[in-house]
């Protein structure tokens, strides 16, 4: 009888230990905001993080621009450039410009969270500053795209496409404005590759370490009207006060 009681107690204690091992602390609010930039967020196509969307769109812009460069007639060229412009700057479909701005916003949200580390606080303004080169190129591509749309000459349009392709390539892999043989060596030459590297370096410096944030936390962080960030315990994936 005693053996059975002892065995039962052992099983209960083992079950309790196993249950406690499965309980994990929720991530910091700062890390959830970083997760929105890096991993996923409920409003984007495929629920991808803003940086992932920006990288994908930048690749799509470059592909469309290169297709325009191979076009043999003006209408086809214009069609490809219209696609490039749409992926470059599109409020409804998260273009390069919009997605990158949102990524920087979320790093800033992380830095202003009560539980932000000094590492994140220092990084946020630098990252926002360093996104400027890509955003400026996005705006340049928009202007050139309008010129292409208005062009009546294949020769003129082709020259514009060359400029769009250069800007699109720089947005993907960085530029080498000084001809030093190294792309993205200064912030003014940064593309998505360098911005991604900056984010990864910041993550590597985090202490306690940054862990990939569970989807539930990513999709259920809401901002109350008083400005406080909380997790929606009902898990409705909702949004308060227009938070994106």
Question: What digits encode the pLDDT tens for the residues 120-164?
Answer: 999 999 999 999 999 999 999 999 999 999 999 999 999 999 999
Q: What is the pTM for the complete model shown?
A: 0.85
pLDDT score at 239 = 54
Name the band, by pLDDT with cuts 50, 70 and 90, for residue 237.
low
Count CB atoms within 10 A of the CB of residue 200.
Answer: 11
Q: How far apart are the first and last CA of the chain?
A: 61
Asked if 185 contacts 176 with a C-beta cutoff of 8 angstroms, the reply is yes
3-class secondary structure, 115: coil
Percent of the chain's residues with pLDDT above 70 = 86
Q: What is the CA 188 to chain-centroid distance, rounded? A: 19
Name the band, by pLDDT with cuts 50, 70 and 90, for residue 24.
low
pLDDT score at 117 = 96
Find the largest Cα–Cα distance for the chain: 97
**163-210 tens-digit pLDDT:** 999 999 999 999 999 887 889 899 999 999 999 999 999 999 999 899
CA distances from 46 to 33, 50, 132, 164, 215 (A): 18, 11, 26, 27, 13
Q: Two tokens at 210? A: 């940054």
pLDDT score at 235 = 63
């Amino acid at each position: 009888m005693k053996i059975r009681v002892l065995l039962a107690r052992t099983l209960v204690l083992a079950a309790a230990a196993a249950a406690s091992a499965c309980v994990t602390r929720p991530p910091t609010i700062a890390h959830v905001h970083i997760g929105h930039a890096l991993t996923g967020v409920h409003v984007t196509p495929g629920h991808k993080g803003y940086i992932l969307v920006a990288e994908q769109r930048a690749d799509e812009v470059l592909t469309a621009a290169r297709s325009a460069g191979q076009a043999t007639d003006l209408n086809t060229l214009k069609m490809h450039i219209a696609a490039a412009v749409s992926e470059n700057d599109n409020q409804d479909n998260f273009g390069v410009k919009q997605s990158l701005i949102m990524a920087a916003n979320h790093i800033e949200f992380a830095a202003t969270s009560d539980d932000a580390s000094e590492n994140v606080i220092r990084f946020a303004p630098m990252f926002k500053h360093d996104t400027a080169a890509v955003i400026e190129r996005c705006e340049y591509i928009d202007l050139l795209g309008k010129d292409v749309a208005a062009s009546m000459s294949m020769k003129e349009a082709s020259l514009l496409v060359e400029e769009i392709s250069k800007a699109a390539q720089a947005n993907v892999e960085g530029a080498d404005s000084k001809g030093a043989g190294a792309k993205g060596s200064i912030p003014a030459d940064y593309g998505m590759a360098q911005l991604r590297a900056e984010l990864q370096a910041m993550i590597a410096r985090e202490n306690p370490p940054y862990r990939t944030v569970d989807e539930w936390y990513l999709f259920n962080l809401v901002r109350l009207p008083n400005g406080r960030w909380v997790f929606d315990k009902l898990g409705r994936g909702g949004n308060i006060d227009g938070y994106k």
